[in-house]
Amino acid sequence: MTETKPRLGYVGLGLMGGPMAKRLLDAGYPLTVWNRAAAKTKPLADAGAVVVDSPAAVAGASDIVFACLTDTSAVEAVVFGPDGIASGAAKGTVLVDFSSIQPARTAALAQRLRDEAGMGWIDAPVSGGVPGATNGTLAVMAGGNQADFDKVAPVVAHLSGRFTLMGPNGAGQTTKLINQLIVGCGFAIVAEACQLAEDAGIDPARIPLALAGGRADSPILQQYMPRMAARDREVQARIAIMVKDLTTVMDEAKRLGSALPMTGLATELHKLLARRGLADADNAEIIQLYTPD
């Protein structure tokens, strides 16, 4: 007997959500989609997705709803606003939120969704950027209960190289903040190393090859130093998102009493980029703090 695939919904079809939704379609799942800017639904509609006019309609047509939105306020509006997911959800369905938002708010929103709609919530922020979303190799950090995690894991497997349950709702978001702390500081350090190499007359594009396999090696070094050296301006992840995430890291550190001096500096460097008009530029543009051109 052929197993019936769960009905999927997706809201938020931006740089990450669009390719993730396309992978679900390509895997043969029935997919219903909504996006605030309707034009972004066209490629998915052309590939066979059903386009509806509200998040509520997505929820009403789905066993599992995926969301990938900009920030906490956007998630709350899409879930609980007029014609939001909560108003169309059926008891026993699950929302998987790939957005990176505040941990405490995540836990509160998840409880509210269970209370009001009987819908489960897995907070599942991701790391890996557009290449990871396109290739299905994202690292996904989850918070929620085991039953909801087990229900969605076979589907998330089409999107991720790793899907790890870290604890109750909010734990996935906290893990993502730790990821962004490391990544944000890493961008700043790799930019400084790139500039030092250039000042010394060394081709910085060769540094990742020379350091591969050593203790300084990392995906950030391998992927971003060549891009910084080439002044590659293709947007794979926006500086504005890093500013938002690092600001949330610092807010959480203040709430918990954690001292994060290096992360504080990385946060200010990214804010400076945004103030210089680079909020929508790629993270590799941090090199402009050292060699503006």
Active site (catalytic) residues: 176
Q: How many Cβ atoms from other residues are within 10 Å of residue 203's Cβ?
A: 10
Nearest to 128 by CA among 46, 19, 34: 19
* CA neighbor of 174 nearest in space, from 76, 73, 248: 248
Cβ–Cβ under 8 Å, residues 98 and 129: no
Say how far apart CA 19 and CA 131 lie, in whole Å: 9
Opening angle at CA 75, ends 155 and 274, nearest 5: 110
Buried (b) or exposed (e) across 230-256, using 16+ Cβ within 10 A?
A: eeeeeebbbbbbbbbbbebbbebbeee
Identify the bridge partners of residue 123 per DSSP, sorted by sequence position. 97, 143
Spatial separation of the C-alpha atoms in residues 63 and 83, rounded to whole Å: 18
Residue type, 260: L
Collapsing DSSP states into helix, strand and coil, what is residue 262?
Answer: helix
Angle made by CA atoms 101, 178, 217, in degrees to the nearest 5? 130
For the residues of 132-187, what is the DSSP string, one character each? HHHHT-EEEEEBS-HHHHHHHHHHHTTTEEEEEE-SSTTHHHHHHHHHHHHHHHHH
Strands 138-142 and 160-165, by their bridges, are parallel
